[in-house]
Amino acid sequence: MRELLLSVRPILSSVMTNLGIKEEEWFDLLDSSTDSSFADIAMPCHSLSKKLKKSPMQIADEILEGVGEDLCDFCTLSSINGFLNFSANSKWLNECLQNHILDQRLGVSLDEQRTIVVDYSSPNVAKHMHVGHLRSTVIGDSLVRMLTYKGHNVVRENHIGDWGTPFGMLIEHLIDVNGNDTINNVDLAIFYRDAREKFDSNVDFADRSRERVVKMQSNDPDSIYYWQMLVDQSLVHFNEVYQMMGVLLNNNDIAGESKYESLLSEVVEKLEEAGLLHESQGAQVVFPEGWYNREGNPLPLIIRKADGGYNYATSDLACIIDRVQNVGATDFLYVVGAEQSQHFAMVFEVARKAGFMNKKITATHVPFGLVMGTDGKKLASRTGGAVHLKDLLMEAIERANSIIAEKNPSLSNDERNEIARMLGIGAIKYADLSTDRNNNYTFDWEKMLSFDGNTAPYLQYAHARICSIFSKANIDRKDVQRAIISVSDEREISLAKAILSFPEYLDKAIVSNSPHKLATQLHSLAQAFGTFYEFCPVISSETDIFESRLALCDLTARTLEQGLNLLGIEAPKKM
């Protein structure tokens, strides 16, 4: 839209001045219009009405008349219901496409570089990852990919829960069951459950556990030895899941609560210095401005509990100090479920008040809704417990495998397994990423694995289909990129507009931390391609049309592949 806007600007300028409308008034109006897209702008004349004492319809008509034929070279202009509509014509689109096809970045510009810490996934040690972590991991991974592509310095932060009170009982249980032996191959979820049961039923064990936390948090070597065993075992499980999911996270990104442990006393000192620390029922707390409980009393953010232990919020504050000082963070994104909104709002408020973050640094909680089962309830396993992520991923791949086997029996086993992996994992991720993250979404196998509709397989299939057009005709994609592109058919024009909109939608997705905005655009692109391919013959056309249409195919495939990649989804060449 920007490009079209800049082309329109000089011509519109004189007409507007004659009508008595200042540049900043109408240009902002065009720029901010939400009904606009890359090649179509809808300018609402309603807000000019009062000043000019004319109806929006009248204003739109007068502008239209003033412009006359001047825009015809690249744009058609019409006035409908007080809106002035600019629609780029094929000449303008052809020029854009010609630049676009030679651009490896498909028109995506680089932003001025910022250092963005993205906190995501962040599961808890000695517990299985659940679907909440699935959402955080999938959304976070996509945001990281998009921001990196825009040229930012992205710091991935897997803030695992590895330092809290449960470690007391876990370590004691570990000592009870096998002393110094390793705990390889132990199911940590069962281990956790057993420790919990003992903690709840055995007073002596509970006491030992409490003492153990204190020992561990004061870095007693014995306790740390067992603690490390639990952490290592958990990391094996997390990494297995990350690898299956094909996300970028690895061990270098682990920055759990324990990492900030040595900074916790500094947090207290700094809050004290800033005059923010208060004592409340033996605990040290801060009362962030604007937060009250139901009784109307100020709501505390607990920094240090009465027993001397530090809190979840304290690690988050320590992390902010560390990332600002040592990493040079300019922005923080926390991809964590909506239920932690209050926690983050309070932490940000305190961090600002205490001067841990200056005004230029942004901190944003990127919340998301729940994953629901097809029964309308929160997604649960058959036995009613939390769904294990690994099982979910494996089921997706298995299901995709049978679908592929049926659709394309000629594939070799290896080929089919590989495609099934891309499809199954892609389907789960896309189902998550294609809905507005603020909403709950329904986990529906049939729907997410369908080849129709707004699904990963639909987009992947469009991509694979184009790849097969090229391979069947034995044409090198690189050769096509030198073609003269000329769109004239309305289906070609729609496809061209969808291709050219990619950079704009990527920006929209980034600005609002909403991958679904990119997903939606990719889906429209695949649909536009479907219609184009149905009505505009490619292979059987005359040479120049053939080349131009092949170029559109190439651009579609490249955009789909790049777009899916930014969502963390692979695009097989064959399906």
Binding footprint of ligand ARG on the chain (CB under 6 A) = 119, 122-124, 159, 161, 316, 334, 336
**CA 457 to CA 439: how far, in whole Å?**
22
Contact call for residues 280 and 186 (beta carbons, < 8 A): no
- CB contact burial 372-386 (16+ within 10 A = b; e otherwise): beeeeeebeeeeeeb
CB of 353 to ligand ARG, least distance (A): 19
CB of 415 to ligand ARG, least distance (A): 38
- CB contact burial 244-269 (16+ within 10 A = b; e otherwise): bbebebeeebbbbbbbbbebbeebbe
Residue of 434, 482, 464, 475 whose CA lies nearest to 533: 464
CB of 347 to ligand ARG, least distance (A): 8
CB of 335 to ligand ARG, least distance (A): 8
Instruction: Please say which residue, 304 or 416, places its beta carbon nearer to ligand ARG.
Output: 304
Instruction: Please say which residue, 14 or 341, places its beta carbon nearer to ligand ARG.
Output: 341
CB of 157 to ligand ARG, least distance (A): 7
Number of H helices, E strands in the chain: 22, 12
Contact call for residues 313 and 267 (beta carbons, < 8 A): no
Contact call for residues 371 and 441 (beta carbons, < 8 A): yes
CB of 66 to ligand ARG, least distance (A): 56
Instruction: Please say which residue, 36 or 137, places its beta carbon nearer to ligand ARG.
Output: 137
Instruction: Please say which residue, 122 or 514, places its beta carbon nearer to ligand ARG.
Output: 122
Instruction: Please say which residue, 316 or 322, places its beta carbon nearer to ligand ARG.
Output: 316
CB of 344 to ligand ARG, least distance (A): 8
Amino acid at 101: I
Instruction: Please say which residue, 49 or 364, places its beta carbon nearer to ligand ARG.
Output: 364
Name 430's Cβ contacts closer than 8 Å, sequence gap at least 6.
448, 455, 456, 459, 519, 567, 569
Contact call for residues 391 and 419 (beta carbons, < 8 A): no
**CA 526 to CA 534: how far, in whole Å?**
12
Instruction: Please say which residue, 16 or 255, places its beta carbon nearer to ligand ARG.
Output: 255
CB of 253 to ligand ARG, least distance (A): 13
Contact call for residues 56 and 63 (beta carbons, < 8 A): no
CB of 287 to ligand ARG, least distance (A): 20
Instruction: Please say which residue, 11 or 318, places its beta carbon nearer to ligand ARG.
Output: 318
**Tokens at 483, concatenated:** 């073609």
CB of 513 to ligand ARG, least distance (A): 15
Name 201's Cβ contacts closer than 8 Å, sequence gap at least 6.
none
Contact call for residues 188 and 177 (beta carbons, < 8 A): no
Provide φ and ψ at 395, rounded to 5°.
Answer: -65, -40
**Rg of the chain in Å (alpha carbons):** 28
CB of 342 to ligand ARG, least distance (A): 12
Instruction: Please say which residue, 311 or 486, places its beta carbon nearer to ligand ARG.
Output: 311
DSSP state of 339: G
Instruction: Please say which residue, 314 or 454, places its beta carbon nearer to ligand ARG.
Output: 314
Amino acid at 394: M
Q: 10 Å Cβ neighbour count for 412?
A: 8
Q: CA-CA distances (angstroms) from residue 48 to 26, 37, 546, 561?
A: 8, 22, 47, 43
Instruction: Please say which residue, 44 or 132, places its beta carbon nearer to ligand ARG.
Output: 132
